[in-house]
Structure formats: C-alpha cells, structure tokens
Structure 1
Amino acid sequence: MDDLPPPLVLEILSRLRDSGDVARCRISSKTLNTLASEIRSVDLQCSYLRYAKSRSPLTRSSITPFKSIFHKLISQLRIVERVSIGVGKPLGLVAYDDVEDEEDDLFLSDVNFVKAWLPNVCGDLASVSISDFWVQSCWRRSDVLSVFSAHCLKLHELEIKNAWLSVDGLTPLKTLTSLTLEFIRLDDENLEKVSECFPCLRILKLIGVGGLKEPKIDLMHLETCHWSLSNAPISISIIAPNLISLNLKCVKPNMLMIEAPFLSKFYLTFEGTCNFKVKEFSHLEHLYIESTNLRNVLVSLPLFKSVKNLIVDSPRWEVPVGVSKSIFELLLRAFPNVNALTLNSGAWSEFEACPVVEGSTQIKGLKEIRLYLSVDDVEATLSAIFTLLDHCSDLSTMSMFIHRDVVSNVTSTVISQCTARCPRLRWKWGMWKQKMMDSWMSDPM
C-alpha cells in the first residue's frame, strides 16, 4: 500500500462506505493515517450488535459511545462535504414497545449533538443524511431543520429519517435541491414552511410523514416527487409547474388537486375514491394507477388523452354487481390513446369476472397488452383473453405472466390455446410470484 501513488490511495479510502473501516486503516499505516485526513465524507452507521453490547451489563463499559466516535472521526478531517450518520436497518426495526430506553446516545437529530459538530464543517457541507433511532427520537422534538438552514449555505441534499421535526426558526435555504423526510412526525401540518423555506427543491421525498391535515406542495422548480402519506388528510394539493415524475400514495383524501402541466410519469395509489381536480396533463405518457376501489375511480377520472403506457391494479376487488361495462371499457374511456396496457393480477381478476366488451367495436391503437394471471378457473381465464383478442385489431404483442403456483398442465393449456387462437401475435410468456413495481418510477418504460 505504501508503494501506491498517494492520489490512488486516497481514492481507495474515499470509496470505503464505512468510516469505521477508514479508522481501522489509519491505525494500520502511517501513510493511510496521513492521507485519511483528506477524505471529504463521514459515513457511520450503528449496528444492532453494537447497540446490544452498549446495553449489556457485561460489555457496556467497554463500548465507546456512538456519538463520541462520530465526533472523533469528523474532527480528523480538514474538509467535509458529505455526512451520513444513522442506525442500521435491523436496529431501525426495534419497536418502542419492545424496549425501555431513556438514553439519548442514538438520538442523532438532537440539536445539541448537531451543533457540536456542524459549525466546524458547514462551510463545505453539501449533503447530510441522518437516520435516527425511533425509540429515542419519537418522543423528543427536534429543531434540527432550523439549525441546518442557519449554518449550511452550500447544502444541496438533506435526508432525515425516523424523527419528530419542528419547523420553528426555519429560514430559507435556497441551495437545497433535494429533501427526503422518511417516517417523520412533522410539525408543519400544511407543508407551508417546507415550501416557503426550500423554494429551489428539484427532488422531494416525503415517505410516511405524519401530522398533515391539508398539505400543499407549492414548488416552482420541483421535477421529481415521491409522496407517501401515512394518515388521511382532508385534501392534497400539488402545484409544481416543472414536475416531471410523481409517485403519490394516499389514503381516502376528500380532494386531490394537481397542477403539473409537464407531468410525464405518474404513479398513483390510494384507498377508496376521491374528488379529482386536475388541469389537463398534456405531457403525461406513463401512468400507474392502483386503488382498492378501482371501478369507481375509473368512472370519476377525467379524460387522459396523452397516456400511452398504462398499468392498473386493484389489491382488493369484489365481483361487480349490476354493472354494464367491464374494467377494460372503463380504462379505454379514460385513456383513449393508450398503446401499451398492463393489467396486474387484481385488475385482471376484476375484468375476468365481467369481461363484457360492448358490441363488436374494434379497439384501435392498442399495440401491446401485458397480463398477470392467477388462473383460478382456466375456462374463465381463456374466455376473458379471447374477448380481448377479438376486440383489439391492432394488437401486435401479448405478454402473459402466470402465477408460479399454477400447475404445469393448466399453464400448458393456456399457452397452447392462446397461441392457436391468434398465431399472428408475438406471444411472450413468464411466471410471477409477486408484483415487482417498486422500480417502475426509476426505470424507462
């Protein structure tokens, strides 16, 4: 190692994800010890094993407090551009009811703790990630947002998880372009302070943020938004004239209002139905929609003429009673220009229960269909598939994924009868066990 060029050694050290590994390298070599001070990031995560040892009467006295280790590591660096500190995932799963913990050594959004290290490194700090220990942070209110806004004039990216955050004293921070708040109790019930003090956000992730009543996102520069609400607010509003990608998960809102004229990719999942109030999405091409009440949602949706790629699902569906239109017809009414359609298992089951397509109408423009099948009744499944084939004259590709628990002879029957019924199509076959939609928002379609 001592024979390698110093820039290469520094590059190797900089690529170590765990700053604890860097500290161990410093002890092993004078060269490494000298060069390590040039590293510009600290990444320290508390493991479950370390936490357990710090609580055990047999090992507690030999364990250096986690905050003390962090202080030492960050004080050894000349320039700090990135800080990531938190608890490991297994420790993050520890429930408050499972442990009585009055300690604060893993209360990492503690203002006093942050103020002890931040002023010395804030001049070059561009990225901060804090993953708190919920057992210690959930009952301790933190003003750490105002501390970062006051000290970090070059901060571009901020991520905080598992904490109770206040917006008292929060001041505008125009350098911040990416904000992630995950499993947060937030004292900003309508998101007014977030929108006001972080006006230049381009990426916003609010995952499981509680305490919201009538939240409104109003951000001029926002391009990507992932918003998962943990409660049922009265109304939800998004005003983002430059928004391109939106992933929204909500629970029975009375009103959903969206103004995002350049929205191109939209992942929407919610329970129940709501009153949609949207301006026309003339650029929306990719849409995923999931609802426990899919049929009523489709009836209430406005017309989406620009959607080309559509994925729908219904996690809990019931056999429709007294209906005259199938899910397929409702989809094509709301999305008349779609050319690629995916029906996940719930949506397909609902269509299979009522596969009526009115008259002999030919559906033009639909080029590709992808289905996720459970095949509880092979005859009903085949009948529904044939109904689609008879009404889609422009169809060129049919992809079918059959649940892996379906017996092989049933799968063979479906494949042979489908290919015989319509040999002109390009058929694609596969198996599925569970829906893999988590990467949908980041992958090209």
Structure 2
Amino acid sequence: MDSLPESLLLEILSHLSDSTDVARSRVALKAFNTVFPFLRSINLPCSIKWYENNNNNNNNNITSENVQSYKLVFLDLVSTLKTVETVRIGHPQPMLAFLYCMDPGHEDFYLEDDEFVNKWMPKVSETLKSLSMYGSGFDRDRVSNILPLISKYCHNLVDLYLKYAFMSLENLKPMPMLTRLTLEYTTLNDEDLNKINTCLPNLQVLNLLDPSKVIDPVICLVNLKACHLDVADAFLSTLTLIAPNLITLKVKCSILDAMHIEAPRLSHFHLFIQSLRDTLIVKKFENLKTLVLDSYDLGSVLLKFPVTKTVENLTLMESEKFSKDSKLSLAKVFMVFPNVSSLCVESNAWSELEGQEILDRGNVLKTICAYLTLVDQSLTFSYVASLLDQCVGLSEVSFLIHCDANGCVSERFMSKCMARWPGLMWRWGIFSYYDEYSWITK
C-alpha cells in the first residue's frame, strides 16, 4: 500500500464518508498522512459514543485514553486540511440532541456557540460550498446567531442545511451565492420570512420543515424552482407564494385560512391540508401537469381550485376517514380537472367515491390506479363497472387491494374484473397502511 501513487491514496480516503474512519485509516497506514491534508470534506457525526465518554469523564480531565473533545477534534480537522469545501457536523438523531441539551456539561456539543463558530468558520470562508449542521435545538434558553455568522463568513456557500436550532436572523447579511436552503426543526424570529426573501435572493431550492414562529409566510423569490413547506402542526392565517420560476411545490399544513399562489411555471404541486377555511387564490395555473391532493375534506378543498385544463396526472388521498360533510365525486374531479388522463385514488378517497355519480367526462382517462379494501365487494364492483364502462378511453387499470382482504376473495374479484373487460391491460397487488405496496402481476 505504501507504494501506491498519492492520487490513488487520496481517492481511497475520499470514499470514506465518516471522518473518524479517515482518522483510523491514517493510523493503520502512515502513507495516508501524506495525502490527508488534500481532502476537501469533513463529515464528523456526533455519535452516542461521544456523549457517553463526555458524560462519564470530566471535561477538564480528558486524557489520551478517553475520547477527545468533539469540538477539539473538529477544529483539528479544519486546521489540517488545506481546502475545505464540505462540512457536515452535529448530532442528527433527535434523542442525542435531547441528551446533549439535558446534560449540564454539554457545552462540547453546543455547536451553534458564537465563540466556537468564530474559531473555525473564518478559516474555510472562501472555499466552503456546502454546510450541514445539526444543532442543540432543545436548549430554549439560547438563541443562536449561527445563520448571521454564516452569512458573515461564507460568501461562496451554495448549499446550507440546519437542523435543531433556535435562531435569530438579526444582522443577517445577503448571501447571493446560496441556491439551496433547508431548515428543519428550527425556530426563526422571522414570522413572514421577510429576511429570507431579502437576504437570500437567488435561492433555487427552499425546504422549511417544521419551522416554529413562522405565522404568515410570504415567499417571494424570483429564482426559486422547488419549495417544500411543512408546517403540519401549525395553524397559519395565510400563505403567500410569489415565484415566477417555481416548478415543484409541496405544502403540508394543518389549517389554513387562505392561500395565494403566483407561480405560472408550476408543474408539480403536492398539497396536504386538513382544512382550507377560505380561499385558494391562484393567478393562473398555466403549466400544472401533476397534482397530489391530500386532505381530510377532499370534496371541499377540490372546489377551492380553479378549473385547470393542464392537469394530466392527479392523485387523491385522504389521510383519515373522510368527513361526513365531504362530498367528493368524480363528477367534481372532472369538472375542475377536465383533462386528467392518469388518476390515482387511495383507499379512503376511493371509499368516499363509491356510490357517487360519474359523468362521461372521464372519457379522457387513459390509466387509473385505485386502492381497494373490498369491505363491500358488490358495491366496489358495481362502482368499478360504472367507472370502466363510462371511461371508454381507458387502456390500463391497476388495483391494489388491502392485505386484510382474504387472498381468495381478492383473486376472485380480480378474475371477475379481467373477464368483464378483457381488452384492458391489468395489474393488481396488495398494500398495507404501514408498508410499501407490492405487485402480484406486472
């Protein structure tokens, strides 16, 4: 191994994803020491071993027999590498973050600390392109300046991921190079996201996953192409999205009074919402091709949409049993989305559809996939017959039957369907609410 060229040794080290494995390799083979400084990434996950050693040993009495301070190990890596382009540090597991926070001696794991950040970030400021950092978000007594500090030093940062952090956005500076931002389980003192809009003007991908203190988000980003907003446990008044270049949008929230969308290039839209109380204001869906609707009240949410002739692929989902007041029907579906050619209906939504009228607008349908429970086989078959007889343009039908249904019953049901409509291409399989589905015929 010592005779291998340095380029190959560097290639071997580059394939080790964990920096602790890199350190072990340097001990096992001294030849790695020569090329080690030329690595361009640091990935130092804070495992349970760090916590156990920190918890069992006094921080002021660290010896060579103990695991070294997490911060000291990281700082040593930063000072040793010549060029650092990627950094990934912290404790990605929520339980570990909680343990570190509850431990009164957890300072070694409080990575958002200003003093610690100021020790290493200036050294990588010109070369750092990607930063992933898992903070100590359970420590509610501390508000971190991590994002303003990043904006102060990392002028060439392109991709930023922050998780478990209570953050202040005061003194946030412009970051024109940043194109991708993910904030997960963070608290922001930016209720309407004005700071994000102002200081990160060139974002192309924005993921806000369970952010706290975001009340009336206004996302106004000209270059945004993909956005994922998950505030499932929050009650928002309004959501405003103005993004002329947006292609993909996923929104998950509990209850929302109103939603305003200006995204003429939007092609893929996934909306999960318990209830949309008031209105959905859309300037115009000019290019929307794929739509996924997931709601406790599909019938009501559906009618909030304007008539959209561009939607070709539609998925209807209901996470829980439908409301008694919900009146979902394929007649409504085809009225709002008259040109749907591919339709997928999951089990709760299908149960609500059974027995409702179908209009011959379904003639444009080419493929349909449905999740069936076969609680009432005769009712299900009757509705299937009504649907397939009216949708004369169908070419492919896929049924996934719940695993609780008897296997013989499922086979007889499918045999009956295939015999009734032999000209169609058929697929069927099984599914459960907890596991992935599996096809029996392909």
Q: TM-score, normalised by structure 1?
A: 0.92
Measured after TM superposition, the shift of residue 93 of structure 1 is 7.0
Q: SS at 1:16's partner residue?
A: coil
Q: Which amino acid aligns with 2:397?
A: M
Q: Name the counterpart of 1:434.
A: 433
Q: For 2:336 and 2:49, how far apart are their aligned partners in 1? A: 53
1:212 pairs, out of 211, 214, 219, with: 214
For residues 7-22 of structure 1, the aligned pairs below 5 Å read 7-22=7-22
Letter of the 1:192 counterpart: N
The answer to whether the aligner puts 1:78 opposite 2:64 as a matched pair is: no
SS in structure 1 at match of 2:33: helix
SS at match of 2:128: coil
Are 1:159 and 2:161 counterparts? yes
Give the secondary structure class of the aligned counterpart of 2:35: helix
Name the counterpart of 1:424. Answer: 423
Measured after TM superposition, the shift of residue 228 of structure 1 is 0.5
Contact 1:48 1:91 in 2 (8 A): no
**2: CA distance between counterparts of 1:309 and 1:101?**
53
Q: 1:276 to 1:203 in 2, by over 3 A?
A: same
In the other structure, the counterpart of 2:181 is 179
Aligned to 1:113: 116
Q: CA RMSD in A?
A: 2.1
Match for 2:310 among 295, 306, 313?
306
Residue 364 of structure 1, CA deviation: 2.0
Query: Could you tell me how far apart the structure 2 residues matched to 1:29 and 1:220 are?
Result: 51
Give the direction of change, closer, same or farther, for the CA distance of 1:270–1:318 in structure 2 (3 Å limit): closer
| Structure 1 range deviating more: 222-231 or 49-58 | 49-58
1:346-385 correspondence runs (5 A)? 346-352=348-354, 354-357=355-358, 361=360, 363-385=362-384
The 1:294–1:218 alpha-carbon spacing in structure 2 relative to 1, beyond 3 Å, is: same
2:335 to 330, 333, 337: 333
Report if aligned partners of 1:92, 1:133 keep a CA contact under 8 Å in 2. Answer: no
- CA change 1:95–1:75 in 2 (3 A) is closer
The 1:355–1:413 alpha-carbon spacing in structure 2 relative to 1, beyond 3 Å, is farther
Question: 1:27-426 to 2 correspondence within 5 Å?
Answer: 27-56=27-56, 62-89=66-93, 91-92=95-96, 94=98, 99=102, 101=104, 103-135=106-138, 137-229=139-231, 230-274=233-277, 275-318=279-322, 320=324, 326-352=328-354, 354-357=355-358, 361=360, 363-426=362-425
Is the alpha carbon distance of 1:384 and 1:236 closer, same or farther for their aligned partners in structure 2, counting shifts above 3 Å?
Answer: same
**Which one-letter code corresponds to 2:88 in the other structure?**
S
Alpha-carbon shift at residue 434 of structure 1 (Å): 3.2
Rounded Cα–Cα distance in structure 2 between residues aligned with 1:345 and 1:31: 60
Alpha-carbon deviation of 1:276?
A: 0.2
Q: Structure 2: how far apart are the matches of 1:57 and 1:30?
A: 30
Q: What residue is the counterpart of 1:442 in the other structure?
A: none
**Deviation for aligned residue 1:53:** 3.2
Q: 2:376 and 2:211 mapped to 1: Cα distance?
A: 42
1:108–1:418 distance in 2 versus 1, CA, 3 Å: same
- The 3-state SS of whatever aligns with 2:384 is helix
- Cα displacement string for residues 274-298 of structure 1 (whole angstroms, at most 9, x for unaligned residues): 3101111111101111001111111
Distance 2:374 2:23 in 1: 57
Q: Give the deviation of 1:249 after TM superposition.
A: 0.7
- C-alpha change, 1:15 and 1:381, in structure 2 (3 Å) is same
Query: What residue is the counterpart of 1:443 in the other structure?
Result: none
User: What one-letter code is carried by the residue in structure 2 that aligns with 1:241?
Assistant: P
Write the deviation string for residues 184-207 of structure 1: whole angstroms up to 9, x where unpaired.
111101000001000000111111
Q: Which amino acid aligns with 1:80?
A: V
- TM-score scaled by length of structure 2: 0.92
CA contact (8 A) 2:297 2:322 kept: no
CA deviations on 1:362-386 (whole Å, 9 max, x unpaired) are: 6221100000112222122212211
- Cα distance change, pair 436–154 in 1 and its aligned pair in 2 (3 A): farther
Residue 102 of structure 1 deviates from its aligned partner by 5.6
Question: Which consecutive unaligned segments of at least 5 residues does structure 1 have?
Answer: 438-445
Question: Which residue of structure 1 lines up, in the alignment, with residue 439 of structure 2?
Answer: none
Q: Secondary structure of the residue that 2:394 maps to in structure 1?
A: coil
* Aligned partner letter, 1:410: V
Is the CA contact 1:106–1:133 (under 8 Å) kept in the aligned structure 2? yes
Segment drifting more, 142-151 vs 191-200 = 142-151
In structure 2, runs of 5+ residues without a counterpart are 437-442
Change (3 A) 1:432 1:396: same
Report SS of the residue matched to 1:376: coil
Look up the equivalent residue of 1:389 and give its one-letter code. Answer: L
Equivalents in 2 of 1:117, 1:290: separation in Å? 45
Deviation at 1:436? 7.6
Q: CA deviation at 1:159?
A: 0.8
Take 1:173 and 1:88, find their aligned partners in 2: how far apart are those partners?
25
Single out whichever of 35-44 and 55-64 deviates more from structure 2: 55-64
Of 326-335 and 278-287, deviating more is 326-335
Local SS of the residue matching 2:38: coil
Task: Kindly indicate whether the alpha-carbon contact (under 8 Å) linking 2:137 and 2:186 is maintained by their aligned counterparts in 1.
Answer: no
